[in-house]
């Protein structure tokens, strides 16, 4: 069916409501817009669905949510007779239509006889992961687009282990979704009827309490927090998202009472009006926090994205506040947690840290010091969660810590996804611990680099929207594969890893990685959730300046080549 035929189908089919049809009529004279909305469908991958809110097959709307959920329901019903009774937990963030989409998903599950547990209001994504395990549910759904711009929303699926679905599971669900070409076959049950049948249940504070109890069990040095608490100050911003539900409570309950939340960013708001982009990786989102800091002089400024699975921070150095990258926060947390376990003689002989292939190799150098193995996965925290399940099933390794360069961290196993609520508490404890020793986090980072090497990393993304953009992304990857770079920035390429052919026991992925003779590294991959191609750069030097110079030269040469490819 052509994009025009799909457009007419939505316009004329009685299944679609009048509001939908009015929106379609409003673009009747815009052929390019019609094509963009209907030339394809939003792809259901291992990250679920993510797209711009609007009408059409290439937009996210209640009909696409229903279709995806019917596919999920079909897959669940194939598992076992008990699966429908186990039910599915649903959570959502503060985005436009998030509550509506969550209720739509529940109604389709209920229509298929599957119980739905829905949080009473917005909640952090990691709490959904926890709730799936706590309630022994068969699956979980989160309505979120993470840190995307306001016009986006999304739909992520988790399985019974609490982790995001991995490729094999996603393929099974996708196959079911693809068979649903007639929306009228989707089962649907109104909430009142579902409640009468015991198929719909609201959950809330009871899950919060259990999650916080588990989180507090991760704290290694409560006595240091008590000692530093009186003059250790924290400013926190949830960036108008779900983090404010749990981050302040968690910090206060482990002992950090000197905490202030940025008032202009405290309440949920789908417009994210105080920032251009609600991403704690960007220093610009901390402008209001920095204004508060002029008077309050906090030790730390913490920020979480709208679904509270990513944590960014600024730390005080004299009169200034500086940011750390996701890699830097990750290696600091990893070293801190390993050192505390080693000091308490609790470091297992079979301990493992799990990171992604684009995450800093400094982690491996540090882990070697503790006799801990570092295991790489493909990009995406779902693969880190999958490793935890694998370790527990095989009993051969013990998960100690997992992280990725994109500001995601996890300790413990009661959550199976990156967790910014947990990370906020651990970073605060770690900062208090080093403050007690007369150090700030940047000084401790320098101590690690002095010992293991100066690893500097950066990420550059090129936004390429629409059908033409997708073609350019494919052209960049095809060209880099075909030309097989032999030298970058004057350094010989010692190894080229094409993950599309399969590397080790990792699944196939459209990723290219170039290792250079000076231990520098370049990785190229298309984003799985946005119309972007991403370039990950790593440079290693004997000091900060040398590594920085290498990094800039590496970026300049590669990005110049990429522009030549797409011009």
Catalytic-labelled residue, pool 94, 98, 129, 146:
146
pLDDT range class, residue 567, cuts 50, 70, 90: confident
Confidence band for 230, pLDDT divided at 50, 70 and 90: confident
Which of these, 105, 116, 111, lies nearest to 189 by C-alpha position? Answer: 111
Nearest alpha-carbon partner for 401 in 455, 355, 445: 355
Residue 313's region, left for phi above 0, alpha for psi from -120 to 50, else beta, is beta
Task: Report the distance separating Cα 371 and Cα 342, nearest Å.
Answer: 10
Q: What does the pLDDT read at residue 487?
A: 87
Instruction: Write out the DSSP string of 215-259.
Output: HHTT-S-HHHHHHHGGG--EEEE-TTSGGGGTHHHHHHHTT---E
The percent of the chain in helix, strand and coil, each rounded to the nearest 5, is 45, 20, 35
Contact call for residues 532 and 463 (beta carbons, < 8 A): yes
- Percent of the chain past pLDDT 90, that is, above it, reads 91
- Residue 287: per-residue pLDDT: 98
Phi, psi of 69 (to 5 degrees): -70, -35
Residue 465 binned pLDDT confidence (cut-offs 50, 70, 90): confident
pLDDT tier for residue 319 given thresholds of 50, 70 and 90: confident
The residue with tokens 């208090």 is 432
Q: Are 521 and 405 in contact (CB under 8 A)?
A: no
Q: What is the distance between the alpha carbons of residues 383 and 170, in angstroms, rounded to a whole number?
A: 13
**Mean pLDDT score of the chain:** 95
Coil vs helix vs strand at 356: strand
Given a cut of 80, whether residue 411 has pLDDT beyond it is yes
DSSP code per residue over 368-418: HHHT-EEEEE-SSHHHHHHHHHHHHHH-S-EEEEEEETTTEEE-SSS--S-
Cβ-contact 338, 401 below 8 angstroms: yes
Measured CA distances, 177 to 43, 71, 82, 168, 186 (Å): 10, 4, 22, 15, 11
pLDDT of residue 355: 98
Q: Is 140 helix (H, G, I), strand (E, B) or coil?
A: strand
Domains annotated for the chain, with CATH where assigned, are 1-38 (no CATH), 40-205 (3.40.120.10), 327-418 (3.40.120.10), 454-566 (3.30.310.50)
Question: How much is the pLDDT for 527?
Answer: 86
Q: Please check whether residue 507 is in contact with residue 516, taking contact to mean a CB–CB distance below 8 angstroms.
A: no
Q: For the chain, how many helices (H) and strands (E)?
A: 20, 21
Cα separation, 275 vs 373, in Å, equals 40
Comparing 125-129, 172-176, 480-484, 527-531, the range with the smallest average pLDDT is: 527-531
Q: Residue 497 has which token pair?
A: 């890893």
Q: What is the pLDDT of residues 77-120, one digit of tens each?
A: 999 889 999 999 999 999 999 999 999 999 999 999 999 999 99
On whether the CB atoms of residues 60 and 153 are closer than 8 A, the answer is yes
- Write down the pLDDT at residue 480: 92
Q: Considering Cα of 462, then 464, then 465, then 466, what sign does the dihedral take?
A: negative
- Residues counted in the chain: 567
Q: Is the pLDDT of residue 502 over 90?
A: no
Radius of gyration of the chain (CA): 24
3-state secondary structure 502-533: CCCCCCCCCCEEEEECCCCEEEEEECCCCCEE
Residues paired with residue 444 on neighbouring β-strands, in sequence order:
none
Residue whose tokens read 């390019």: 32
Between CA 233 and CA 56 the distance in angstroms is 48
Tokens, residue 176: 């079911």
Q: Which two tokens stand for residue 126?
A: 């990691």
Distance CA 559, CA 404 (A): 23
Q: Among 92-96, 175-179, 317-321, 415-419, which is the least confidently predicted range?
A: 317-321
pLDDT digits (tens, 9 = 90+) for 124-165: 999 999 999 999 999 999 999 999 999 999 999 999 999 999
| pLDDT at 529 > cutoff 90 | no
Angle at 41 between CA 118 and CA 464, to 5 degrees: 105
pLDDT of residue 466: 83
Element (H, E) at 472: helix 466-483
**What average pLDDT score do residues 197-212 get?**
98
Closest CA to 153 of 74, 100, 89: 100
Query: Is residue 101 within a helix (H) or strand (E), and if so which, with residue range?
Result: helix 98-111
- Give me the pLDDT at residue 488, please: 86
DSSP 351: E
Look at residue 549 and tell me whether its pLDDT is greater than 90: yes
Q: What is the pLDDT of residue 58?
A: 96
**146 in catalytic set:** yes
Q: Which residues pair with 234 in a beta bridge?
A: 259, 300
Indicate whether 497 pLDDT > 80.
Answer: yes
Q: 437-465: string of b/e by CB count within 10 Å (b at 16+)?
A: eeebbbebbeebbeebbbbbbbbeebebe
Q: Is the pLDDT of residue 514 over 80?
A: yes
Maximum mean pLDDT: which of 94-108, 226-240, 472-486? 94-108
Q: What is the per-residue pLDDT across 7-63, written as a single tens digit (0 to 9) for each?
A: 999 999 999 999 999 999 999 999 999 999 999 999 887 779 999 999 999 999 999
Q: Give which of 73, 39, 77 is closest to 58, Cα–Cα.
A: 39
Residue 467: pLDDT band by 50, 70, 90 thresholds? Answer: confident
Distance CA 440, CA 332 (A): 11
Q: Which residue has the tokens 């259990």?
A: 210
474: burial class by Cβ within 10 Å (0-12, 13-18, 19+)?
Answer: middle
């Amino acid at each position: 069916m052509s994009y025009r035929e799909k457009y007419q189908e939505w316009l004329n089919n009685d299944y679609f409501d009048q509001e939908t049809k009015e929106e379609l009529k409003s673009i009747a004279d815009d052929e390019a817009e019609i094509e963009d909305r209907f030339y394809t469908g939003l792809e259901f991958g291992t990250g679920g669905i993510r797209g711009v809110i609007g009408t059409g097959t290439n937009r996210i709307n209640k009909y696409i949510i229903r279709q995806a959920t019917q596919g999920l329901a079909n897959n669940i019903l194939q598992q076992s007779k008990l699966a429908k009774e186990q039910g599915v937990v649903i959570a959502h963030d503060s985005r436009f239509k998030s509550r509506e989409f969550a209720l739509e998903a529940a109604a389709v599950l209920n229509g298929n006889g599957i119980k739905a547990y829905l949080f009473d209001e917005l909640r952090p994504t990691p709490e959904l992961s926890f709730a799936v395990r706590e309630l022994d549910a068969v699956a979980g759904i989160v309505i979120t687009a993470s840190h995307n711009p306001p016009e986006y929303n999304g739909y992520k699926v988790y399985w019974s282990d609490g982790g995001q679905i991995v490729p094999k599971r996603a393929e099974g669900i996708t196959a079911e979704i693809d068979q649903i070409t007639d929306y009228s076959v989707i089962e649907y049950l109104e909430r009142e009827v579902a409640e009468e049948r015991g198929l719909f249940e609201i959950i809330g504070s009871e899950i919060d309490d259990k999650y916080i109890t588990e989180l507090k069990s991760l704290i290694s040095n409560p006595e240091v927090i008590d000692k530093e608490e009186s003059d250790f100050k924290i400013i926190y911003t949830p960036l108008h998202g779900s983090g404010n539900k749990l981050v302040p409570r968690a910090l206060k309950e482990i002992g950090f009472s000197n905490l202030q939340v940025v008032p202009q960013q405290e309440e949920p708001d789908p417009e994210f009006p105080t920032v251009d982009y609600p991403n704690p990786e960007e220093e610009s989102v901390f402008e209001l926090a920095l204004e508060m800091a002029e008077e309050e002089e906090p030790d730390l400024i913490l920020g979480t994205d709208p679904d509270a699975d990513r944590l960014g921070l600024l730390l005080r150095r004299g009169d200034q506040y500086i940011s750390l990258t996701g890699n830097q926060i990750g290696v600091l947390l990893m070293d801190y947690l390993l050192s505390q376990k080693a000091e308490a003689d609790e470091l297992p002989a079979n301990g493992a840290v799990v990171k992604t292939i684009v995450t800093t190799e400094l982690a491996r150098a540090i882990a070697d010091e503790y006799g801990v193995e570092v295991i790489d996965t493909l990009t995406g925290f779902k693969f880190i969660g999958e490793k935890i399940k694998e370790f527990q099933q095989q009993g051969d390794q013990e998960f100690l810590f997992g992280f990725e360069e994109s500001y995601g961290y996890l300790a413990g196993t009661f959550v199976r996804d990156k967790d910014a609520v947990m990370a906020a508490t651990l970073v605060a404890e770690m900062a208090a611990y080093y403050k007690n020793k007369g150090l700030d986090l940047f000084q401790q980072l320098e101590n690690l680099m002095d010992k293991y090497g100066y690893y500097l990393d950066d990420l550059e993304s090129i936004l390429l929207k629409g059908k033409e953009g997708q073609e350019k992304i494919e052209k960049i990857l095809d060209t880099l594969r075909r030309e097989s770079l032999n030298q970058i920035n004057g350094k010989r390429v010692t190894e080229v890893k094409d993950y599309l052919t399969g590397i080790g026991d990792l699944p196939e992925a459209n990723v290219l990685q170039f290792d250079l003779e000076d231990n520098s590294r370049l990785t190229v991959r298309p984003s799985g959730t946005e119309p972007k191609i991403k370039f990950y750069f790593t440079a290693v030097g004997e000091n900060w300046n040398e590594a920085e110079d290498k990094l800039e030269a590496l970026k300049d040469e590669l990005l110049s080549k990429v522009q030549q490819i797409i011009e």
